[in-house]
Structure 1
C-alpha cells in the first residue's frame, strides 16, 4: 500500500495554517485555503484538475535525497529535509495535474519569503529534479539572473549536490562540467545571465531574487520559449524589494489577486503562489512578528540572529526599512520611504471616477518638473465626513516626451523601460519629440474644467510662467508654490495622517503609487516635525507626489487666496 508521509505533512501544514495552529500572515493562509478548497472542487467531475499524491510524493522524496552543500549540515553530511512549509510550497504545485492529460496544472510557482529561509537550496533541488527526473526528453533548465554571481547562487549548490551523489550521476548519466551539467539525451542545466539564446527551449526556468530585475525581459524570454514543452515550470523565489514599479512587484500583485480570488480562471489557474510576510496591522517590533514572517524560524534562522536584526531596526531608523524588507518581507520602496506603502495600497478604490465629483471643488496640483521628463497634473477633492476632512485623488494625468520613453541612452535605459510599461498600461501620455509641449497640458486642464469645478491650480514655479499666464487668462487661479519646508510640510504630513486614519482615497493609478513610494522625508536640523519631500537617485521620480501635496495643501486651506507663495522660500529647492 502506497504511503505519502511528505504529502500528508504538506496537507496537515495547510490545515494548521488555516486553523491558526501555525502562525502565518493572511496571504499564506489564503494560499493554504486555496489548496484545501481545490481538493474539494476536484471531487466535481466537471472541474479539470485533480491532486496526484504520487507525483507530489515523488518530487518531495527525490528533492530530499539532495545533500546539504554548505555550513554545519554539509559538514555532518546530512541530506536536505524539507520543513512542512517547504513541502507545501513545492509539493503541492508538483502534485496538481489536469484530469484529461495527467500533465501538471501549475506552470509557475511564486514563493516570496524573507532572507535566510533556505531559498537557494530548495530552488537547487527543484532544478535537479527538472533536469533529470521529470521525464522531459532534452530538458533545458536555466537559473536566470541579472548578474553571474546571482545566477550561481542556485546553480552552484545544484552542481555540488550532483557531485556529492555518484549514484545519481550514474543513474541519470549526468556529466557535471565547470559551468553546466549535461545528459546524453541533450538535457542541460546551466546558469544564464541576461536572456537565453534564441534557439533555447527552456523546460524549467528558475528566477532567484526576482526583485532585483529592473525589467521582465529575462522572465518573458524564458516563458515564451517554453511553448514546445508539455509541462514547463517557472520557479520565482524572491524576497521583497524596494521598487514597486519592478516586474517582481507586478507579478506579486497578480499572485495576491489570485489568492484573494479576484483573479480566477484562465492562466491564473496555472499559477501557484505563497507569500510569507506580516499583515498590515501587525506590530513588527514584537517577537512573534519574527515567527510569523519567517517560516524557517528556529531552523535555518536562529532566534538570536533575527532578534538582533529586529532590535537594530527599532533603535536605528536608517536601518528600519532595509530590515523590514529583508527580514519581514515588507515592500517599503525607498530605503527611507516616508509613506507607509501598505496603507497607500489599502487606500486604493478603483471605482472612483471624476464624474463622482462634479459638485465638488477641485484643487489641481501641477508639477512641471522638466520638459525632458515626467510632468504631472493631479486633481484633488476634499469632503467633510463626520467633522473630518477626507481627501480624494482621482484621474491624475502624466506626460513624458516620446524621445525619453524610447531613449537608447544607456544611462536612461531603466527609466525608459519603466516609462514604456506605463505607456502600455495607458496611464502615461507620450508627447511628440524631445520636450513636453505645455500647451497639451493646458488643453487637458481646459477639458478637465468642463467636468469639474477647478477652485485653484497650485503650480510648481519651475517653467511655470507661460502656462501660469494662460491659466490666469482662463480664470483658473494659478498659485505658485515653492517646494520648501514651509509650503510642503503640512500637506505632506496631512497625507500621512489621512492614510493612517482611512481619510485618504485614490483610484490606484500606478504612476502616482510609484511616486508616493519614492518619497523620502528630509527634515531641517533639530526638527522632526517639519519635513519636505526628496527622492533617492534620479530614477525615482516623485513629481506626482509633489503635485498631490500641492493639491492637498490648497484643499486644507479651502481658500483660493494666495498667501503661501508670499512666504520666504528656502534656498534649497527640491526640483531643479
Structure 2
C-alpha cells in the first residue's frame, strides 16, 4: 500500500473567520516552542504534506504539525459559542494557555503509522487535571465535538461518561448547547433526547452519554471518550472497558478530566498518580498527554514543579495555600474567566472552617488532601477555655433547674461512653464512663494522663471488664432530677433497649440519630462556627480536650459542605472522641426546637 497524505484546504465548515484565533490572556501567559516538546526520535515516514489554509507541513517522522494544530484551534473559534457567563454566545476563542498547552500539542503532535500508512496523532490518552471552574467541561465538550464532526472519521463513536447520567451530562449538556448555538452544526446534527444522543447522518457518527456501568459498554468502538471527574468513580471498570476497546480506529482519543481526589487508594488517585509520572518523564508513555496543575503541598512538590517547568511565569513560589502568588498555577483561568475575588472568599472561609479548608485545598488548589482531616484546631479550642474548671461538678449548683438538651454516645460494654448536656445559656456538662479493664491501655497510650483523669473523677470507672449500664442510667436519673432536660438524642447504634430504659426511668423523650452526613452536618457546622467566633468557655475539661484534639471530620468527594465525624479504629488507635459526638447529638436536639429559638441561641460555654 502506497504512502497516503491527507490535504485539508478549507475550514472545518463554512463559517466566518474570527479576527484572532486566540483570545489574549495576561501579558505573561507563555507561548511555548512546540518544536522543542519532547517526542520519540522517530524519522519513519514521508514528508507530512498536511495542508490547512495554504499552510503545508514539510516535516517528517514524529513531529509537531502546525497545520493540524491550526485546524484544531480554528474549530471551536469558528463553529462553537460560549454558552454562559460574560462571553455567552460569543465565539469560543481559546485562551492562550488552552490553545498552546492543551489543544495544539494534543492535536498537532503526530507520527507515522506503518500499520495505517499515514500520519496519525501521537497522543491516544490524555489527562486534564485542574482546579474547579477552570473550564474543564467546556474544553472537554469542544474536544468531543471536534472528534465527532471535525476529525475526518467516518462512523465515529464519541462518548461522554461519569459515575452517573447527571454527572456525564455536565459535559454533554455544554456540548449540546454549543451545537444549538452554532448555525452550521445545528443544521447538520440531529438530537435524540430520549437516548441523549447527537447524530451526524452525513458521516454516520454518534455522540452520546453513557453511565459508569461498564458491563453494558463492552461492545463500543470509541473514536473519542471522556471520563469526567475521575475522583468520583467507584472503580476503573468503565475506563478499562473503553481502554481495551481500541484497535479498530486509526487515531482514537480517550481522555479524563478531573480535580484531585481525597481517596489515596482509589482508581482516580492511581490514574492521576500515573499521569504525574508521565508528566515528569514523557518517555514512560509517549502516547499519553498530560496537563496537570496542582498547587504544591510540600517543598519536594514545589522543587519538582520548578525542575519540570523551569522558567514558567506562573509557577508557585511556596507551599502557602493562602499566598495569592501560588493560585495561578492550579487555576490557569484565574483573572480570565475565573474570579480572583471569588477565590479570595473561598480562602477567607477556609481560614475559619476546617471542612472548608479541605475543600479549598482540594477543589480550588487541586491538592490531594486526606479524606479525614482534623476538625478542631487545638489553638482555637484553647482560646475558648474561659475560666478553668477545678472539677467536673464545679457549676452544677448554678445550672440546677435550667433547661438543657442531652446527647448520649453509648459504646459497647467494652469501651468508653459519653453523656453531654447542652444548657439554654450555652453551658455544657459532660459525663464519661469506662470499664476498669480498659484503663491501663489508655493510660499507657496517654503517658498516664488517662489514669489521672480517672483519679480526679473526670471519668467514672466501673468495676470489671464491661461498663455497668446501671451506673449510667442512675447518673441520667440524677441529672434529670437536677436539670430540666428537654429530650435525649442518642446514637441509633445504642438500640431500642437503651431508649426504653431511659424513658421508663425518666419519662424523657428520646430521639434516634447517628453519625451520618445528614445528621451531623448541621450540628458540626454550628459547632465550628461557634468555636471560631470564640463563643465557647469550656473550662478546660481535660478529657474533652483530648477528644477534641483527635476528632477528625470527613466529607464526601462530591459535596465538601457535608461533614461527619470519623471514629478511630479502637484496635489500632488508643484515642477516643466519644464526648464530641455526644455534644453534637445535644446540639442536634437543641436545633429541633425550631429556627426562631435556634437563632436566639447566643453561643456556648462549657463546664464539667
Query: What TM-score results when the alignment is normalised by the length of structure 1?
Result: 0.55
- Asked if the contact 2:123/2:287 (under 8 Å) is kept, the reply is yes
* Segment drifting more, 61-70 vs 112-121: 61-70
CA distance in 1, matches of 2:233, 2:142: 23
Contact 2:132/2:363 (<8 A) preserved: yes
Q: Is residue 2:338 matched to residue 1:304?
A: no
1:116 aligned partner: 133
Change over 3 Å in CA distance of 1:535–1:203 after alignment to 2: same
Matched, 1:78 2:90: yes
Counterpart mapping for 1:147-186 below 5 A: 147-170=164-187, 173-178=188-193, 179-184=196-201, 185-186=203-204
Contact 1:110 1:235 in 2 (8 A): yes
Distance 1:526 1:543 in 2: 16
Residue 328 of structure 1 is matched in structure 2 by 365
1:256-278 per-position Cα deviation (integer Å, ceiling 9, x unaligned): 111222x734xx11110121121
Q: Is structure 2 residue 72 aligned with structure 1 residue 56? A: no
Deviation of 1:300 (Å)? 1.5
1:208 equivalent in structure 2: 228
Secondary structure of 1:120's counterpart equals helix
Whether contact under 8 Å (1:211, 1:238) holds in the other structure is: yes
- Looking at structure 2, the residues matched to 3 and 42 of structure 1 have their Cα atoms a distance apart, in angstroms, of 31
* Distance change (3 Å), C-alpha of 1:571 and 1:220: closer
RMSD of aligned Cα (Å): 4.7
- 1:310 is displaced (CA, Å) by 0.9
Q: 1:63 to 1:485 in 2, by over 3 A?
A: farther
State the distance in 2 between where 1:223 and 1:175 align. Answer: 28
Cα deviation code 1:4-54 (max 9, x no counterpart):
999x999x99xx99xxx559xxxxx9xx79973426x66967996211111
| Contact 1:127–1:141 under 8 Å retained in 2 | yes
- Identify which range, 306-315 or 279-288, moves more after superposition: 279-288
Question: Hey, what does 1:38 align to over in structure 2?
Answer: 38
User: Relative to 1, partners in 2 of residues 1:34 and 1:256: Cα closer, same or farther, differing over 3 Å?
Assistant: farther
**Count of aligned positions:** 368
The Cα shift of 1:535 comes to 7.4
Name the structure 2 match of 1:68. 82
Query: In structure 1, which of residues 230, 239, 258 is the aligned counterpart of residue 278 of structure 2?
Result: 258
Q: How big is the shift at 1:222?
A: 1.6
SS at match of 1:273: strand
> d(CA) in 2 for partners of 1:540 and 1:314?
20
Report if aligned partners of 1:143, 1:208 keep a CA contact under 8 Å in 2. Answer: yes
Q: Which residue of 2 aligns with 1:226?
A: 246
Q: Residue 91 of structure 1: CA displacement?
A: 2.1
Q: In the aligned structure 1, how far is the partner of 2:444 from the partner of 2:209?
A: 49
Unpaired runs of 5+ residues, structure 2, are: 1-8, 12-16, 46-59, 300-318, 376-437, 451-527, 529-540, 557-563, 581-608
Shift of 1:529: 10
1:64 Cα deviation (Å)? 2.2
Match of 2:121 among 104, 107, 116: 104
Q: Which has the larger radius of gyration?
A: 2
Partners of 1:482 and 1:536 in 2: how far apart?
Answer: 25
Q: 3-state DSSP class of the match of 1:97? A: strand
Query: 2:351 is matched with which residue: 296, 304, 314?
Result: 314
Summarize the Cα distance change of 1:141–1:3 in structure 2 as closer, same or farther, 3 Å threshold. closer
Q: CA deviation at 1:489?
A: 11
Q: Distance in 2 between matches of 1:67 and 1:149?
A: 23
Q: Do the aligned partners of residues 128 and 165 (structure 1) sit closer, same or farther apart at CA in structure 2, a change above 3 Å counting?
A: same
Residue pair 2:162, 2:228 contacting (<8 A) in 1 also: yes
Q: TM (normalized to structure 2)? A: 0.52
Q: Greater helix percent: which structure? A: 1
Query: What's 1:237 paired with?
Result: 257
Q: State the Cα distance separating 1:227 from its structure 2 match.
A: 2.5
